């Protein structure tokens, strides 16, 4: 098996956990979960107040492919926002919006008709009877700092909850916050940078 010398772990990062093993103040980190092999590190990151998938690996080729902007790998997010976006606002998200003087790349944006089946967040989102919310599935091909939150704010819909549900073609499946599992050999081949390595192996 060409990938047996590397480790690939999918971790569901809970809310208010840092995407790192190093301790920082009193905040929870990846070191509070696992146990994970000492050789693995996150390929990319999720903000402290975001949730969802992190890939932990010791495969530097895959890490490079995930982190290098020119590869444009897909990241899919489930985003709860204030109020219900209009068709025009959804089109703006798809076409790209200007954040910090630079337009975002075209994205896939879908207004969901039903709330996605996700574990409850701890603590939960503050409910406001006078402000309806909506869920958007947003797929990006770039990873600018707090990009999803800045994009939804730019079209007038602040993000309330943000969950990364897919990295490329690898999805969250049945994982719960704090859970992790090893990727199957077939899933590894779906990772950016892995196929070429497998063919070369």
Residues annotated as part of the active site? 47
Q: Give the C-alpha separation, 190 to 187, whole Å.
A: 5
Q: Give the C-alpha separation, 201 to 187, whole Å.
A: 17
- 100-115 CB burial, b ≥16 within 10 A, e <16: eeeebeebebebeeee
Helices 87-95 and 147-154, axial angle in degrees (round to 10): 140
Residue 199's alpha-carbon distances to 101, 189, 194, in angstroms, are 41, 10, 9
HEC string of 4-36 equals CCCCEEEEEECCCECCCCCCCCCCECHHHCCCC
């Amino acid at each position: 098996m060409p990938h047996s010398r590397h480790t690939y772990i999918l971790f569901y990062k809970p809310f208010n956990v840092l995407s790192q093993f190093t301790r920082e103040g009193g905040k929870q980190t990846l070191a509070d979960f696992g146990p994970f092999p000492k050789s693995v590190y996150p390929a990319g990151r999720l903000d402290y107040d975001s949730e969802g998938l992190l890939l932990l690996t010791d495969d530097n080729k895959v890490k490079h492919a995930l982190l290098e902007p020119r590869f444009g790998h897909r990241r899919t997010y489930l985003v709860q926002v204030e109020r219900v976006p209009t068709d025009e606002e959804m089109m703006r998200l798809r076409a790209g919006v200007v954040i910090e003087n630079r337009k975002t790349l075209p994205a896939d944006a879908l207004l969901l008709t039903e709330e996605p089946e996700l574990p409850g967040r701890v603590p939960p989102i503050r409910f406001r009877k006078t402000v309806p919310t909506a869920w958007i599935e947003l797929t990006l091909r770039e990873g600018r700092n707090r990009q999803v939150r800045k994009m939804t704010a730019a079209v007038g819909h602040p993000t309330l909850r943000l969950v990364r549900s897919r990295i490329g073609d690898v999805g969250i499946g049945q994982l719960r916050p704090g859970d992790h599992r090893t990727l199957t050999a077939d899933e590894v081949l779906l990772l950016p940078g892995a196929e070429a390595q497998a063919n070369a192996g």
